[in-house]
């Protein structure tokens, strides 16, 4: 496309599905890379700052996220480091989207703000109250704050809903 940068063109590769690759004769490429389009792209274009979790085959796969959690908890040191790196990258993207600039700012992020898909992924990874301390162990986390703030926000949301119902504009 006119005006599109190389970076933008490469970013579109995140949304390619395996069926599309096969349709254009890329079955052999997928076979070579153990059916992983992400591995193929990352190997063939190593200079681009790829984010493994963004590839359609991973982003939409509960198995991918479950495997990351398993590696984070009980993988070898190298596997744990790799899993933690992918998960930190994922959380940094969420942080940018929601203006989270400090670790303590995570306390105020609600599931509603996060969005269903991100919330479910993080929930499957143990929730923010478990995930953040595991990824950032040097920070002094107050895990009770996650619950306290969410309870307060839920109460405020319920109150706002009640007020809107009783006093419609």
d(CA 88, CA 76): 18
What pLDDT does 63 receive? 78
Q: What pLDDT is attached to residue 43? A: 85
Q: What is the pTM of this model?
A: 0.69
Tell me, what's the pLDDT at 169? 53
Q: Which residues contact 89 (CB under 8 A, 6 or more apart)?
A: 51, 52, 53
pLDDT tens-place string over residues 79-103: 899 889 989 999 999 999 999 999 9
Find tokens 């939409």 and name the residue: 60
Helices (H) and strands (E) in the chain, counts: 11, 0
Asked whether 137 and 146 are in contact (CB, 8 A), the reply is no
Q: What pLDDT sits at residue 108?
A: 84
- Tell me, what's the pLDDT at 126? 85
Tell me: the pLDDT tens digits for 99-128?
999 999 998 888 778 888 888 888 888 888
Closest CA to 132 of 102, 103, 101, 112: 103
Residue 18 in contact with residue 30, Cβ under 8 Å? yes
What are the domain boundaries of the chain?
Answer: 1-60, 61-169
Question: What residues in the chain have per-residue pLDDT under 50?
Answer: 153, 155-157
């Amino acid at each position: 496309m006119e005006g599109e940068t190389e970076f933008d063109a490469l970013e579109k590769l995140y949304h390619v599905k395996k069926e599309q690759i096969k349709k254009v004769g890329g079955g052999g490429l997928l076979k070579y890379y153990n059916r992983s389009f992400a591995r193929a792209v990352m190997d063939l274009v190593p200079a681009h700052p790829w984010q493994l979790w963004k590839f359609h085959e991973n982003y939409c796969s509960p198995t991918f996220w479950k495997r990351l959690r398993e590696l984070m908890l009980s993988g070898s040191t190298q596997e744990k480091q790799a899993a933690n790196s992918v998960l930190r990258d994922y959380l940094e993207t969420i942080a940018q989207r929601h203006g989270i600039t400090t670790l303590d700012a995570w306390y105020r992020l609600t599931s509603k703000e996060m969005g269903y898909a991100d919330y479910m992924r993080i929930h499957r990874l143990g929730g923010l109250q478990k995930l953040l301390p595991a990824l950032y162990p040097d920070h002094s986390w107050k895990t009770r704050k996650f619950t306290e703030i969410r309870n307060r926000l839920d109460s405020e949301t319920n109150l706002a809903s009640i007020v809107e119902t009783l006093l419609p504009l």
